[in-house]
Amino acid sequence: MSTQRRRFLYGTTFALATTGVAVGLFYRYADAIRTHVVRPAIETYYVVRYYIDLVPQLFWWMIPPAVVSLVLLRRFLRPPTSDAAPQAPKSLSIRPGEGELTHLVRLVQRAHHSRFARVRLSRTLVEVAARLIAGREGIPLATARKMMLDGYWRTSRSMHHFLTPRRHYTARQGSAEFREALQETLDQLEDHDRTA
Amino acid sequence: MTALPSSSEERKPTEMLTAVRFTVSFGLALVLAVLGLALRNLAIAALSFTPLFYSMTLLLSYLALPHHEIEARRGVDRFRATEGEPIGVRVSLATEKGSYPMVFVHDELPDGLSCASGDVHYQGPLSLSQPRAALQYTLEGRRGVYALGGVHALVWSRFGLALTELTVESPVTLRILPASEKLGVIPIRPRRTRAFAGPIRSNLPGAGIDFFGCRAFAPGDDIRRIHWRAYARTQELVICEYEQERITDVSLILDARSRAHAAIGSHRTFEFAAQATASLASSFCRQGNNVGLLIYGDVLNWVFPGVGRSQIDRIHDALSTARLANKLAFEDLRQIPTRLFLPHSQLVLVSCHLDEADIETLALLKTKGYSILFVSIDTIPLESDQLPSSNDTALAVRIARLRRSLYLQSLERYGVQVIDWNPTAPLAQAIERTRRMHRRMRP
C-alpha cells in the first residue's frame, strides 16, 4: 500500500471516528452542551461583536497616529535582509574619541539594514562627488551641487541612484544590490579622481 | 643627582587594621568571659584567655611602636625630559634617632608615569647604624606635568603584630615634553619676512643664492654681480640679482578640539599632533624665525612669538600641558583669533581633522593674506589596522581615502600648502616629499 493511500485511510478513519464520538456526545449530553458550550459561545460572540462595533466609534481618532507610528517603527521591526552582515550599533553620530573611519564603517554596516543610514551614506558620497566635479570642471562647489541636483551622473545607473540628491533610489534596494551599487559608484568616482 | 631639601614627617592616624584586630579580639574575650560567668561554666570562661592574651600583646606592640622621625630625600637627575627618555630617581630614607625593625616603603607614581627599571618598593629594617635605605629606579612617561608626592611607609613593631602608616612628603614636579624629531628645511613662502637673514625666500632682490632677475647697472652696484655674457651680447652693463633669504614670523596652531581627534587602539591622535607641533616649533626656531604657538580649542592658550632656544622651551612647556577641550565656542576653526597673528605672516595648522567648514575657514584666512601650511595627520592607516577586515571596512576605507584626497586637493587649489603625514612614518619624510613636489612644480 502506498504512503499516500495509507495516509488517506488513516485520515478518513480518524474523521469518521471523531464525528461518531461527537454525535454520541451531543445525543447523550445535549442539555449540558447547550448550557455550557453553545450558549456561552454565542454570548461571547455577541459581546466581542459589541466591542468590535464600539471601538471604531469611540477611538477612531487613534487610528491615524497608530498608522504613522507603525510606518515610522517599521524599520526597527523589519528583520535584517542581509545575508551575512553583522548587526551594527544603532547610533550614527560620531562618538567621542571615535575616528572618522570607524564612523564610516559603522555607517556602511548599518546601511545594509537601514534606509536612514543609506541616505546618510549617499549624502556623504554626494558631497565627495560635488567636490570632485568642482575640482575637475573648475567651478564653484555650489554650482557643482546644483549640477548634481540636475542629474550630472545620468550616464551610470548606479551613480545616478547614489549621487543624485533627493532621489536616493538605493534606499529601496536589497543588501547585495546596495553593496554592488556602492562598489560600482566608488570605482567610478576613483577613476574620475585619477583622471581629473 | 639633585637632592631636594624636603622631608617633613606626617603621621597618619590610620592604624585601622590594628584597631580592628584589637577590638575584635578584646570583644571576643569579654563576651566569652561574661558568658562563662553568667552560666557559671569555667570551661567557657577559660576560652576567653587566648583572645585576651592576643589583644594585650597587640596593645603592648602598638605602644612599643617606634615614633622616630623618618627623613626622605628624593632626587631626580632631570626635571624635564622628552617622551621615552628615562629619568633616574633615587629616594633615600633615614631615621634620626632610633631604629625601625621593619619598614615597607612604597613610592607611589601618578598615572602616566611608569617604572622602566629598578624597584619602587623597599622592605627591611631602618636604623641609625645601618647605611640609608634607598630606592633607585628610572621613570618613563607620557606627555604631561606630574607631581610626585609623598613616600608611603608601613612600619611594623618588633613582633610584627601592630603597624602604622607614615607619609613622608618629598615633592618633585616632573615635566614630560612631547617627543620631537629633527626636521630639514620646511617649504614655506610667507608674503612678509623680517629684516634679518634667514632661510626663507623673501621675494625681494638682493644677496642670496637663488637667481631672481636682471636689471641695468646703477652706480654703486657691486661689479662682481655684472652679467658679463649679457654685456658681451648687448654692450650694456647688466646686474644679476638673487633672491634675499630672511627670517619670518611663524604662528603654529595646534588643533585641540576634541571632535578633531580620536583614540585609536593605544594611540591618541592628539599626541601625534603635539609631537608634530613640537618638531615644527624646534625646526622653525632653529632657523632663527620668530615663532608663536596657539593651542586652539580651549580658552586662549597662546605662547607669545619669540626666537631662540628659550622660545623652544616655552613652546614645549606649553605643549606638555596641552589638553583636548570640548568647547562649543571653538566648534569650528572660524573662531581662530587672527588678531594674534601678524598680517601676511605664516600660519602652520596641525590637525587630524578636515571638513567642509574647516576648508572654508582656511580659504578665508588665505584671502586675508596669510600663508598657510596645513599639516594633516592621516589617521586612516592606523584606524584601518584596528578595524576587523571585511568588505564593509574596505568600502569605508575607500570612501574615507577619496574624501580626504579631495579635501586636500581643494585646499591646494585655494593656495594652502599641505603636508600629508602618515604618523607611522617620520614627519621629516612627509616634509621631504612635499618639498620635492614643490621643487617639481616650480617654473
ipTM score assigned to the predicted complex: 0.71
In a domain, A89, yes or no: no
Q: Cα B202 from chain centroid? A: 34
Strands B371-377 and B417-421, by their bridges, are parallel
| Residues of A in Cβ contact (< 8 Å) with B397 | 101
Residues A99, A187, single domain; the answer is: yes
Angstrom distances, CA of residue B161 to CA of B12, B65, B106? 18, 10, 20
Give the nearest partner residue to B409 out of A99, A112, A135, using CB atoms. Answer: A135
User: Across residues A159-184, what is the average pLDDT?
Assistant: 72
pLDDT tens string B11-23: 454 466 777 888 8
b/e for B237-249, b at 16 or more Cβ within 10 A? ebbbbebbbbbbb
Question: Is the residue at A20 inside a domain?
Answer: yes
Most confident of B69-78, B323-332, B418-427, B433-442: B418-427
Q: Say if residue A115 is in the same domain as residue A177.
A: yes
Do A112 and A172 reside in the same domain of the chain?
yes
Rounded Cα–Cα distance for residues A127 and A131 (Å): 6
Q: Which domain holds residue A174?
A: 94-195
Q: How does pLDDT run across B386-410, given as a tens digit for each residue? A: 888 898 899 999 999 999 999 999 9
Asked if residue A119 and residue A27 are part of one domain, the reply reads: no
CB contact under 8 A, A193 and B397: no
Amino acid symbol at A36: H
Q: Which residues contact B339 (CB under 8 A, 6 or more apart)?
A: none
**Residue B366, all three cell numbers:** 588665505
A118 and A170, same domain (yes or no): yes
Q: Is B25 left (phi over 0), alpha (psi -120 to 50) or beta?
A: alpha
Q: Are residues A106 and A55 in the same domain?
A: no
Angle between helices A115-137 and B391-413 (to 10 degrees): 30
Contacts of B402 in chain A (CB under 8 A): 128, 186, 189-190, 193
Cβ of residue B19 closer than 8 Å to a chain A Cβ: no
Rounded to an integer, the average pLDDT of B55-72 is 79
Give the model's pLDDT for residue B14: 47
Give the residue from A67, A84, A107 where a domain finishes.
Answer: A67
Mean pLDDT estimate for chain B: 85
Residues A160 and A98 grouped into a single domain: yes
Considering only A8-12, A118-122, B253-257, which range has the smallest mean pLDDT? A118-122
Q: How many domains does chain A have?
A: 2
* Statement: residue B156 has pLDDT above 80: no
Residues in CB range of B203: below 8 A, 6 or more apart: B189, B191, B243
Q: Which helix (H) or strand (E) holds B115?
A: strand B113-118
Same domain, A124 and A56: no
**Whole-number Cα distances in Å, A60 to A54, A64, A70, A73:** 10, 8, 16, 21
Secondary structure class of B350 (helix, strand, coil): strand
The residue in chain A having the minimum alpha-carbon distance to the alpha carbon of residue B360 is: A141
Least confident among B48-52, B339-343, B379-383, B437-441: B437-441
pLDDT at B193 over 90: no
Q: Point out the least confidently predicted range of A6-10, A162-166, B228-232.
A: A162-166
What is the pLDDT, as a whole number, of residue A91?
42
Q: Which of B394, B356, B400 is nearest to B379 (CA)?
A: B400
Across A144-165, average pLDDT: 77
Neighbours of A27 (CB within 10 A): 9
Instruction: Select from A67, A85, A116 the last residue of a domain.
Output: A67
Whether residues A39 and A124 share a domain: the answer is no
Contact present, B421 and B276 (Cβ < 8 Å): yes
Show which of residues 77-116 on chain A sit within 8 Å of chain B, judged by CB atoms: 85, 94, 96-102, 104-105, 107-109, 112
pLDDT at B32 over 70: yes
| B399 interfacial to chain A (CB closer than 8 Å) | yes
Asked, for residue A152, whether it belongs to a domain, the answer is yes
pLDDT at A50 over 90: no
> Is A123 within 8 Å of A170 (Cβ atoms)?
no
Q: Is position A78 within any domain?
A: no
- Nearest residue of B to residue A126 by CA position? B403
Q: Do A101 and B380 touch (CB under 8 A)?
A: yes
Q: Has residue A88 been placed in a domain?
A: no
CB-nearest to B406 from A102, A112, A193 is A193
What confidence category does residue A80 fall into, taking pLDDT thresholds of 50, 70 and 90? low
Looking at the structure, do residues A63 and A104 belong to the same domain, yes or no? no
Among the residue ranges B153-162, B185-194, B218-227, the one predicted with the least confidence is: B153-162
Q: What nine digits make up the cell of B37?
A: 560567668
User: How many Cβ atoms from other residues are within 10 Å of residue A183's Cβ?
Assistant: 15
- pLDDT attached to residue B403: 93
Closest CA to B289 of B247, B345, B251: B247
Q: For residues B211 and B225, what is the distance between their CA atoms, to the nearest angstrom?
A: 12
Whole-angstrom Cα distance, residue B400 to residue B173? 43
Task: Evaluate if residue A59 carries a pLDDT over 80.
Answer: no
Binned at pLDDT 50, 70 and 90, residue A27 comes out as confident
Q: Is A1 exposed, middle or buried (0-12, 13-18, 19+ CB in 10 A)?
A: exposed
- On whether the pTM is more than 0.95, the answer is no
- Judge contact between B188 and B438, C-beta under 8 A: no
In a domain, A82, yes or no: no
Who's near B153: CB < 8 A, 6+ residues apart?
B70, B93, B103, B104, B105, B106, B165, B166, B167, B168
Cα angle for residues B181, B187, B190 (degrees, 5° grid):
120
> Of A67, A85, A117, which residue sits at a domain end?
A67
- State the Cα–Cα distance between residues B375 and B357, nearest whole angstrom: 17
Using the beta-carbon criterion (under 8 Å), do B413 and A135 form an inter-chain contact?
yes
CB pairs under 8 A between A and B: 77
Cβ–Cβ contact B383 with A under 8 A: yes
Cell output for B325: 577641550
Answer whether B396 sits within 8 Å of A97, measured CB to CB: no
Residue A81 lies in a domain: no
DSSP code, position B143: S
Measured in angstroms, the CA of A166 and the nearest CA of chain B are apart by 20
The rounded distance, in Å, linking the Cα atoms of B384 and B392 is 11
- Does the residue A21 lie in any domain? yes
